[in-house]
Amino acid sequence: MVKQKIDDGSYTGSQIQVLEGLEPVRKRPGMYIGSTGYDGVHHLVKEIADNGIDEAIAGYASKVIVTIQADGGIRVYDNGRGIPVDKNEKTGKSTLETVLTVLHAGGKFGGGGYKVSSGLHGVGSSVVNALSTKLIAEISRDGKLYRQEFAIGVPQGEVKVVGKSTENGTAITFYPDATIFKETVEFDYKWVVNYLRHQAYLTKGVYVSVRDERTKERCAFYFEGGIKSYVKHLNIGKDVVSDSIFYVERQVEDSMVEVAVQYNETFAELVKPFANNVLTPDGGTHIAGFRSALTRVINDYARKSSLLKEKEENLTGDDIREGLTAVILVKLPDPQFEGQTKNKLGNPEVRRYVEQVMNEYFSYYLEENPAVAKKIVGKALLAARARKAARAARDNVIRKGALDGLSLPGKLSDCSSKNPAESELYIVEGDSAGGSAKSGRDSKTQAILPLRGKVLNVERARLDRMLNNNEIVSLIKAMGVGISDQFDVSGLRYHRIIIMTDADVDGSHISTLLLTFFFRYMQEVIDGGYVYLAKPPLFLLRQGTKKHYAYSDDERDSILQTLIAERRAKGVTIDETADLTKQAGITLLQRYKGLGEMDAEQLWDTTMNPENRVLVQVKVKDAEKSDAIFTKLMGDQVDLRKSFIQSRAKSLSLEDLDI
């Protein structure tokens, strides 16, 4: 829980260390915020909001309030100490102006401002200022309200007292510069909500609220349980092994280790590692220490309790992590992240800290909860048996020669090119469509793999069962990347994997089954941008010798209206009492029920010709949300799936399939 500290006056301008100037930011903004598109605009929000969260982590703030304004700006307020306004000795300017105009100037460098901070690089406030047409800083300190305004990073006057204040705090309002962010300068309410929800989970006891003045939407978060509440949230929709959640928070030397663990009945592992509230998706020393201790503690308990027999080999880490949901949060004074993106934590001492805490306290947890411990070990033993069965199945179906074509599936019609960059694999529903695709394709670059029936739902099946499914095995062989511990994305034989199914309910189900397989077992293929969905047309409109294809009812109607207008422009007399197809001079309007209805020429023209086809690239924008969606759609809980589909059936379109 956040316990708000009283400012003792020690947070002053002397703690602000200046490293270098601000000039490069507008010239090369991508170096500082990653991109100048949608992500870059929202990175600005993150930089300012993180300052408020850092105040809460340090114990000086208890709330962070964000307002998306109707005039295009966004205001971020925290009730922390307030940025100092006294004169900075090194710059000769006020500390507030220094923080907002000098790169690498902030309380996160000097050592006296923050013991723990997520803003390692400290570029936040000044970069946001440089990339905003206007920024307004309002500081409440010592009973006074101070204000200073900036334009494109340039002060529009000195900091001034504009009123009185009853509490300390900082409010930053800024307006992104449209000459920098040409794609958009609008803030996405859902993005802001999701980001701040995560921060609220990671900073227990902090109150966070978001209000959108454009739509009047608002929400607030307060999690007394912190990451324990987060684990509970991550397991929504999953059958848990036990309602009990392991939780520990302990200080080790100058760092804090916080861990929450709960098992569920799925076969997937979901671990969220954080360092100073920064997600480290590539892991690092904290997750290495966690995994090492978890494996050791569970094996020791299984031996001690005779759940693992003397002659049996130890459970592996993979066995033990099946169905694991965990959040690991470490807070340390000098985090060493790898790269500007902070994807991986490198501090070697953190591994020892996490191991020490887990070894001691997770052992206590298992001893004190023998029923839960027995279920966890039992689940791991089942996973071990399945692993051995899967290894045998894998050895039978995947051989080293897969990449050079020696063991490619017989149903695959391969392309002649051996260059993955120009090669495409069409995964086609049914033999009929597969036949048309084989006849109509460009055989140099396009390979065809027809699938018979619906693919196995891997959400409800372990690897051993999966490798006994002919369609899944054919797909693995064709792609050439292997599976499980032999998976290697560098062996991918095609750099476009195109799922081509009918534009109906069954086709959508098959697409979802295949996406589930890729997400659960080959996410690197999705992350590499290699997976696509083909979008076949729904209608053929023939006007004499001309053919038009429509991909939706609206597009069909739009084509009809365009053709009618063209005929009128040519002086054709039109009977306005006739239906639209006659007015447009349409001689054939055909609705396709499936790909199998198209001959080879039509399938090439509409869905396979790179000049005409429409492909939707599959991306994982939010892995956590994607995990929840696949759990709902493909898991065992029917009520959740029914509710999810009913609530979205009318509004969901193919463009929404960025998972």
Q: How many CA atoms lie within 13 A of 27 on its CB side?
A: 4
Number of Cβ within 10 Å of residue 334's Cβ equals 12
- Distance between CA 59 and CA 395 in Å, rounded? 55
Is 20 annotated as catalytic? no
- Annotated catalytic, 502? yes
Cβ contact 313:307 at 8 Å? no
Exactly one of 177, 319, 471, 502 is catalytic; name it: 502
Which is it for strands 74-78 and 132-141: parallel, antiparallel or unpaired? unpaired
Active site residue 506: yes
Q: Is 585 helix (H, G, I), strand (E, B) or coil?
A: coil
Cα dihedral sign for 393, 399, 402, 406? Answer: negative
Residue with tokens 């509440």: 229
* Given 504, 553, 579, 601, the catalytic residue: 504
By C-alpha distance, which of 241, 565, 211, 551 is closest to 372? 241
**404 contacts: CB under 8 Å, gap ≥ 6:** none
Nearest to 94 by CA among 169, 135, 147: 147
Cα torsion angle, 114, 116, 119, 120, sign: positive
Which residues does residue 573 pair with via DSSP β-bridges, in sequence order?
Answer: none
CB-based contact 259:202 (threshold 8 Å): no
CA-CA distances (angstroms) from residue 20 to 12, 97, 131, 338?
Answer: 20, 14, 17, 22
Check: CB of residue 252 under 8 Å from CB of residue 309.
Answer: no
For every residue of 218-268, DSSP letters joined together read EEEE--TTTHHHHHHHHTTTS-BS-S--EEEEEEETTEEEEEEEEEBSSS-
Handedness of CA 551, 555, 561, 566 (dihedral sign): negative
Sign of the CA dihedral running 36, 43, 70, 174: negative
Instruction: Specify the DSSP element, H or E, that contains 155.
Output: strand 154-155
Active-site option among 506, 579, 599, 656? 506
Q: Is residue 90 within 8 Å of 101, Cβ to Cβ?
A: no
Cβ 324 vs Cβ 271: under 8 Å:
yes
Helix (H) or strand (E) holding 447: strand 446-451
- Out of 54, 78, 424, 429, which one is annotated catalytic? 429
Q: Per the structure block, which two tokens stand in for 201?
A: 């989970």
Identify whether 429 is a catalytic site residue: yes
How many Cα atoms within 13 Å fall on the side-chain side of residue 348?
0
Let me know how long the chain is: 659
Which residue numbers are catalytic? 429, 502, 504, 506
